[in-house]
């Protein structure tokens, strides 16, 4: 039986209190967007420097939370996140694998989704961010994805361009409202956009954003479940017809994060 929202919030608070009481770093598993919102709700009364989040890479969608800080404890502890590099044994015979293919193969190994972070695809190679204690098992067990034989090992380093590509674009909107911006970027009607807010599918910086008439702050990372993510870069100018020219950077499909 799934935990209720209040139970999850309570658990986050218990971890924060336990960490502070024992002067010990504690970590969550990888959190979904919905869980990230609950995490931030749980931590609203705690000092901002008493916790941190990371997904192993800048712009990660799935992140892990760490309770505790070097300022309070006097020592640092890195996130227990490992990046695995998954490559075809022979590129010229490899299939064009999708994010779903990689995830399906991992699920087939009996690995729980919360132990896995983002999967970033780059030049026929996938980079999987996972919890440290499961990394060796994955590296030893993941030998085939669909009909493609693969090698899996800890990544020595990440390609400099592994971060998700951003395509900067300009849009014309009637007003700098959140629902108008989402509708324009994803080619939706205003009613379709409004439904996304009402069905709690819009997140800003991991926090649920339900105020469809509100404004996104410049620099905000907006995630719309089922559609994608973008960075809102703010308004540029008013047009002669009284509309607004805005700028946003859309996360591209060259690298797949999920």
**258 falls within a domain:** no
**159 falls within a domain:** no
Do 187 and 216 belong together in one domain? yes
Instruction: Tell me how many domains the chain contains.
Output: 3
Q: Which of 131, 154, 177 is the last residue of a domain?
A: 154
**105 falls within a domain:** yes
> Any idea what the CATH number is for the domain that residue 121 is in?
3.30.70.330
Do 240 and 173 belong together in one domain? yes
**257 falls within a domain:** no
> Any idea what the CATH number is for the domain that residue 225 is in?
3.10.290.10
pLDDT tens for the chain, residues 1 to 258? 456 889 999 999 999 999 999 999 999 999 999 999 999 999 999 999 999 999 998 888 899 999 999 999 999 999 999 999 999 999 888 889 999 999 999 999 999 999 999 998 888 899 999 999 999 999 999 999 999 999 999 997 776 666 666 789 999 999 999 999 999 999 999 999 999 999 999 999 999 999 999 999 999 999 999 898 999 999 998 888 889 999 999 986 444 445
Strands of 81-88's sheet, edge to edge?
116-122, 125-131, 81-88, 148-154, 144-145
**127 falls within a domain:** yes
Do 128 and 178 belong together in one domain? no
**102 falls within a domain:** yes
Q: Which of 154, 179, 207 is the last residue of a domain?
A: 154
Do 67 and 124 belong together in one domain? no
**144 falls within a domain:** yes
Planar angle of CA 243, 246, 248, nearest 5 degrees: 155
Planar angle of CA 225, 54, 160, nearest 5 degrees: 90
**55 falls within a domain:** yes
Do 63 and 42 belong together in one domain? yes
SS (HEC) of the chain: CCCCHHHHHHHHHHHHHHHHHHCCCEEEEEECHHHHHHHHHHCCCCCHHHEEEECCCCCCCCEEEEECCHHHHCCCCCCCEEEEEEEECCHHHCCCCCHHHHHHHHHHCCCCHHHEEEEEEECCEEEEEEEHHHHHHHHHHCCEECCEEEEEEECCCCCCCCCCCEEEEEEEECCCCHHHHHHHHCCCCHHHHHHHHHCCCEEECCEECCCCCCCCCCCEEEEECCCEEEEEEEEEEECCCCCEEEEEEEECCCCCCC
Q: Which of 73, 90, 115 is the last residue of a domain?
A: 73
**Domain of 189, in residue numbers:** 166-251
């Amino acid at each position: 039986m799934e935990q209720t929202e209040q139970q999850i919030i309570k658990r986050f608070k218990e971890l924060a209190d336990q960490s502070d009481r024992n002067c010990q770093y504690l970590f969550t598993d990888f959190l979904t967007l919905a869980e990230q919102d609950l995490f931030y709700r749980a931590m609203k009364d705690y000092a901002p420097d008493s916790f941190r989040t990371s997904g192993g890479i800048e712009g990660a969608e799935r992140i892990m939370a760490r309770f505790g800080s070097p300022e309070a404890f006097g020592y640092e502890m890195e996130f227990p996140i490992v990046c695995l590099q998954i490559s075809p044994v022979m590129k010229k015979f490899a299939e064009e694998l999708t994010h779903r293919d990689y995830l399906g193969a991992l699920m087939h190994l009996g690995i729980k989704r919360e132990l896995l972070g983002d999967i970033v695809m780059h030049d026929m190679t996938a980079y999987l961010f996972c919890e440290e204690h499961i990394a060796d098992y994955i590296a030893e067990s993941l030998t085939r994805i669909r009909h493609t034989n693969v090698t899996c090992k800890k990544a020595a380093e990440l390609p400099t361009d592994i971060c998700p590509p951003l395509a900067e674009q300009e849009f014309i909107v009637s007003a700098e409202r959140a629902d108008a911006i989402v509708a324009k970027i994803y080619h939706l009607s205003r009613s379709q956009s409004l439904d996304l807010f009402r069905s709690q599918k819009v997140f800003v910086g991991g926090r649920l954003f339900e105020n469809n008439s509100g404004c996104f702050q410049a620099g905000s990372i907006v995630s719309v479940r089922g559609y994608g993510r973008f960075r809102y870069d703010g308004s540029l100018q008013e047009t002669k017809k009284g509309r607004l020219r805005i700028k946003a950077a859309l996360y591209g499909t060259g690298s797949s994060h999920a």
